[in-house]
Amino acid sequence: MEILNYAFMQRALLAAVLVGVTAPAVGIYLVQRRQALMGDGIGHVAMTGVGLGFLLSWSPVWMATLVSVLGAVLMELIRWYGKTRGDVALAMLFYGGMAGGVMFINLAPGGSNANLTSYLFGSLSTVSESDVTAICLLAAFVVLVTLGLRRQLFAVSQDEEFARVTGLPVRALNLLTAVTAAVTVTVAMRVVGLLLVSALMVVPVAAAQQLTRSFAATFAVSVAIGVAVTLSGTVTSYYQDVPPGATIVLLTIGAFVLMTALAAPLARRRARAASAAGPGADPAECRVPATRGATDDAGV
């Protein structure tokens, strides 16, 4: 294939696969915790890290990772202790992150807002070898956490009080989820962009939930959707000369619409099967709805 003849596209495709795996893998826990927009907030904070990277002549990816992790921890602390004023504090954190990124990058030697654009919306041609190395290492961390601790993270995401009673370190696991989400944002920013990464963390999970009924199935399908749309969007961006981040997000939304259309006849088929099972079957109100596939822990 012609697209594989170019080193920058090889790097972009590898980064796209890693983003397609990591974003839904973290997003499934955020959706369960009703924190679907957490990735968007972390993306705003990460802009300060990108700006600092340019100002200090350090890697913007690693600096964004450091600042994002600190921001994610601060977000969790605000969630625990902020109470009625927590929303105001979070708003200041998010907008301050955006403003800091713009300010620092303009203070950097030769810096301008144009340097920030590729991090905000993604760029294929600017994914360097050092970026790929950083993305691979960060993605490995995300996969190890989301798979290795899936039972514990699932329990905390479902019911914090129950998880605490069973002896799980709830606060530590909440912090770990926030840190993993922050790392995922920096993994994805070179392909999707900081302003659009939240969509890739949430929409594939929502699409998978239309058809699946267990956590394991939702996890697998959402990751498959993530890889499919990131690869398709990257290839489309190369051949059609369109922004990669916007293309990937639009394809993701298209996958959600398709899954939703397929879910209706599947739900009717399941209803007929339940009716045919006779009076011994569970009543409809006791069964897990198809649209909440990640809430059944039988497949964890």
Residue 136 in contact with residue 18, Cβ under 8 Å?
yes
Task: Provide the residue type at 264 as one letter.
Answer: A
Model pLDDT, residue 288: 43
Mean pLDDT of the chain: 83
CA distance 23 to 181: 8
Q: Does an H or E element contain 55, and which?
A: helix 38-56
Residue 118 in contact with residue 189, Cβ under 8 Å?
no
Q: Is pLDDT at 285 greater than 70 in this prediction?
A: no
The predicted-structure confidence for 2-29, as pLDDT tens digits, reads as follows 788 888 888 889 999 999 999 999 999 9
Local confidence band at 69 (pLDDT 50, 70, 90 cut-offs): very high
Local confidence band at 114 (pLDDT 50, 70, 90 cut-offs): low
Local confidence band at 194 (pLDDT 50, 70, 90 cut-offs): confident
Closest listed residue to residue 186, CA positions, set 53, 34, 28? 53
The predicted-structure confidence for 38-67, as pLDDT tens digits, reads as follows 888 888 899 999 999 888 888 888 999 999
Model pLDDT, residue 33: 85
Q: Is pLDDT at 247 greater than 60 in this prediction?
A: yes
CA distance 284 to 103: 56
CA distance 148 to 168: 15
Local confidence band at 273 (pLDDT 50, 70, 90 cut-offs): confident
Query: What residues contact 219, with CB distance under 8 A and at least 6 apart?
Result: 24, 25, 28, 150, 208, 294
Residue 105 in contact with residue 97, Cβ under 8 Å?
no
Average pLDDT over residues 66-95: 79
